[in-house]
A = this chain, B = another copy of it.
């Protein structure tokens, strides 16, 4: 399950991407428009800034803005920062690998191979989609 944090983070990024001018967008504006608790959103935006997706400007007229172009931001990167691993099991994670304590050998694990397939399928979808794709779409 996707955490609210990740969900809100994606929505916020999409909101900012939709603004044509590059003027900073305030957390309060996003909060109202997307129905997200402002304080919670603030902490998420901060995290997105610290991880290099957003820049910020303090004080009056301040806010958050995209650092890269929306087409250059893959959803894999966003989700990895906000949610953590994309894989359903640490032992098949590319970026957050961890050995299972119960498995003596991954090669003979019945779960392992299945979860690699799931991971690759998800990775494929999330790697093909950029912020541009999800911010502007014609439903």
Residues of A within 8 A of B (CB): 1-2, 7, 10-11, 14, 34-36, 75, 85, 88-90, 101-104, 107-111, 113-115, 117-118, 121-122, 124-126, 129, 134-135, 137, 139
Task: Decide if the interface of chain A is mainly helix, strand, loop or mixed.
Answer: helix
Number of copies: 2
Q: A10-B110, A114-B126 are in contact. List 13 more A-B contacts (CB 8 A).
A: A1-B85, A1-B89, A1-B90, A2-B89, A2-B115, A10-B114, A14-B110, A107-B139, A108-B139, A111-B134, A117-B129, A118-B126, A121-B124
Query: In the bound complex, what is the Cα–Cα distance between A114 and B113 (angstroms)?
Result: 25
Nearest-CB distance from A129 to chain B (Å)?
A: 6
